[in-house]
């Protein structure tokens, strides 16, 4: 492959090439013809830059969304734990109420039997 016109090197690399490592940049600059407005390689570099920007934007959006989800999970966990603690307290209170009612029922059963016995004697 031989070019009929001489290829001049660009005087200043595009901004995306300035960020590259010097050896890679030099290799790419050697391939860039000065006559063409946008070379295929420059287009690829531009596409890679836009992909990088898009990826960073999507990553940021995902981080924000995850932060919101984490807050929701933490709030839900706290509310659920609070409800569990309140329920455990109610269970304890209701168990005590049931024990007291059973004890009262036994006492009252004894009183009823005593009163029935007195009524039986009175007849």
How do residues 30-44 score in pLDDT, each as one tens digit? Answer: 665 554 588 999 999
pLDDT tens-digit readout, 88-112: 999 999 999 999 999 999 999 999 9
Give the per-residue pLDDT at 122: 81
DSSP 13-45: --HHHHTS-HHHHHHHHHH--SSSSS-HHHHHH
pTM for this structure? 0.47
Give the per-residue pLDDT at 90: 96
> Which pLDDT band holds residue 58 (cuts at 50, 70, 90)?
very high
Tokens coding 102: 């059973």
Q: For residue 6, what are the CA distances in angstroms to 9, 35, 42, 79?
A: 10, 10, 19, 75
Give the per-residue pLDDT at 35: 46
Please provide the average confidence, as pLDDT, over all residues in the chain: 84
């Amino acid at each position: 492959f031989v070019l009929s016109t001489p290829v001049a090197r660009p005087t200043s690399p595009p901004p995306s090439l300035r960020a590259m490592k010097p050896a890679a940049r030099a290799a790419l600059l050697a391939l860039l013809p000065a006559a063409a407005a946008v070379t295929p390689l420059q287009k690829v570099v531009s596409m890679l830059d836009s992909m990088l920007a898009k990826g960073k934007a999507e990553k940021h959006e995902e981080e924000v969304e995850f932060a919101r989800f984490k807050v929701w999970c933490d709030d839900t966990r706290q509310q659920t734990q609070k409800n569990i603690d309140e329920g455990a307290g109610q269970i304890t209170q209701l168990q005590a109420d049931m024990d007291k009612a059973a004890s009262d029922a036994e006492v009252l059963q004894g009183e009823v039997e005593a009163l029935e016995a007195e009524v039986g004697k009175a007849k």
